[in-house]
Structure 1
Amino acid sequence: MYPSVTINGIDMFQTYHAPLRELHSVQPPEVKSFFQEVPGGDGSIDLSETNSGRPTYKRREITMKFQCEMPMNQWSATVSNILREFHGKEGKVIFEDDPDYYYIGRMAVSDYERVVRAGTFTITVNAEPYKYELVSSLEPWLWDPFNFRTGLIRSYGDLQVEGTRELVIPGTERWIIPVMEVAGSLSLTFEGVTYPLKAGRNKLYDVVIKDGDNLLIFTGNGTVSVDYRGGIL
């Protein structure tokens, strides 16, 4: 059997004695592509990135096949409980062997059957194309699952600005418009353009955190919290 998975905070192995039956549950998302035929010409024009400026993706499918080792006399009640918890619900899925990220999408339970000593069932997730960092830049860091070799600690809360303060955000494949919570009188310079920031919540649609290092320069006096959560394929 393969590692366990946690869905909406429920460890499937601990709760249902249900490890995964297959290691590879997650398939890559399909690329959204658009080609315009050229009348009277060879080939076609690739317009896939014309509107977005980057590759975009369809939702991906996650198929988790479980073997449930609950006693046979508990199987009917267990199936009902599994259906109540997961069928048709939105699921936050964390794999034991990839604990720094989660997938999210709409779930369906299927293919359940009881055999001599165990039962089997499948949970399919129609998931968003990216997997998301488990902890956002404003949430308390979780040291237990942290990978000191590959993990990235983001701590962008209550940053004190007295004059000028620079913040470099390592961006991911999923482009993000961050939300900034401001107290005091501040402005933001991003990619050579300066934006005034109001007290309270700010979401500037021209400030997009892209893959690579993104430099935000805050000027003034006050505090700012930048809410950011990266996503990768």
Structure 2
Amino acid sequence: MYGITFNGKHSLKDMGLYAESKTINAPSKKKITDSVPFMHGLYDFSTVGSNGEQVYDTRTITVTLRIIAYSMEELHTVYSQALEWLMDAGKQKLQFDFMPDFYFMAEVQDAPDWDKFLKYGLLTVDFMCDPFKYSNSYMGDDIWDTFNFLTDYMQYTNGFEIKEPFTTVVMYNNGRVITPVINCSSSMTLRVNGEDKEYKLNAGDNKVWGLKLKNGKNELIFAGSGTVKILFRWESL
């Protein structure tokens, strides 16, 4: 038997509900299309505003939770407690026991079906989730128990020494395109992957709009002096 963790509680350990089944649906692409008379097919504008990056809609995860109750009173009590656990919160981390290295950001918008719970001791819960799942650890943590030899990289992300006139830092991203947090000890400038655009970084944490790390190898050229930390969680469908 396994459970889920949501809103700070584990379904089995804290609520007495174990996950009997689950359906993790894939997200759909967000498509913006238009056509004009006499043309073949459609114009696809879906990636115009995202600088070529495919964007996705929310995904639905359905989990069926079961309880073995010995009285109607117990059923009512557990159902009420389950509603407070599931409904009395906004978007929260949702994690499955069988997927310890990733979590989803999810929210329950509609109350689980009471009739099914009453008859069969089953609680069907629909979670509305962000399209991607997120790694529990930051890139560079290199936690051996969850290291995936097919996709993960072993790399250093902390305390890069930046020296005048510039220093090149190579960073690998094993997930989707991501905006990292760059912590600088002093003000610097940055260019990424040979782009002409220059990003200005202040002392402290920087999360700059438009600064993206692509999947795979990235070259970050810092101009200035001091130390830099690069923090990001990888994202996956």
1:46 and 1:218 map into 2 onto residues whose CA distance is 37
Alignment deviations for residues 85-134 of structure 1 (CA, whole Å, 9 cap, x no partner): 1115223111122221111122143113234xx62212211111111111
Cα drift, residue 83 of structure 1: 1.2
Q: Distance in 1 between matches of 2:37 and 2:20?
A: 51
The separation in 2 between residues aligned to 1:111 and 1:196, in whole angstroms, is: 52
**Equivalent in the alignment of 1:59:** 58
8 A Cα contact 1:12 1:18, kept in partner: yes
Residue equivalent to 1:227: 231
Give 1:206's aligned amino acid: G
> 2:179 aligns to what?
177
* C-alpha distance in 1 between matches for 2:70 and 2:156: 46
Partner in structure 2 of residue 130 of structure 1: 132
Residue of structure 2 in register with 1:158 after alignment: 159
Q: Give the paired residue count.
A: 226
Which structure shows the higher strand fraction?
1
Judging changes above 3 Å, is the alpha-carbon distance between structure 1 residues 151 and 46 closer, same or farther for their aligned structure 2 residues? closer
Secondary structure of the residue aligned to 2:173 is strand
**What is the distance in 2 between the residues matched to 1:77 and 1:154?**
50
Report the alpha carbon displacement of residue 196 of structure 1 after superposing the two structures with TM: 4.0
**Residue 16 of structure 1 contacts residue 70 of structure 1 at CA under 8 Å; is this kept in 2?**
no
Distance in 2 between residues matched to 1:151 and 1:13, nearest whole Å? 31
Shift of 1:15: 2.1
Amino acid at match of 1:230: W
Aligned to 1:49: 47
- CA deviations 1:36-55 (Å, max 9, x no partner) are 11212232222222222122
With the length of structure 1 as denominator, give the TM-score of the two structures. 0.82
Q: Counterpart of 1:46 in structure 2: which amino acid?
A: D
Unaligned 5+ runs, structure 1: none
Moved over 6 A (4+): none
CA distance in 2, matches of 1:71, 1:220: 69
Q: Does 1:199 align with 2:206?
A: no
What percentage of aligned pairs have identical amino acids?
25
Shift in Å at residue 151 of structure 1?
Answer: 6.5
Q: 1:209 is matched with which residue?
A: 213
TM-superposed deviation, 1:229: 1.7
Cα distance change of structure 1 residues 223 and 71 upon mapping to structure 2, 3 Å threshold: farther
Deviation at 1:212, TM superposition (A): 2.5
Match of 1:30, as an amino acid? S
Question: Partner amino acid for 1:59?
Answer: T
SS in 2 for 1:157: coil
Which residue does 2:99 correspond to in 1?
Answer: 98
What's the CA shift for 1:148? 4.5
Counterpart of 2:24 in structure 1 is 26
Give the 3 Å change call, closer, same or farther, for CA 204–16 of structure 1 in structure 2.
closer
Does the CA-based 8 Å contact 2:168-2:219 persist in structure 1? no
Q: CA deviation at 1:58?
A: 0.9
Separation in 1, partners of 2:93, 2:58: 15
Contact 1:106–1:127 (CA<8 Å) still a contact in 2? yes
Instruction: Confirm or deny: 8 A CA contact 1:137 1:229 kept in the other structure.
Output: yes
The alignment's C-alpha RMSD in Å is 2.7
Where 1:21 maps in the other structure, the secondary structure is strand
For structure 2, the residue ranges without an aligned partner over 5 or more in a row are: none
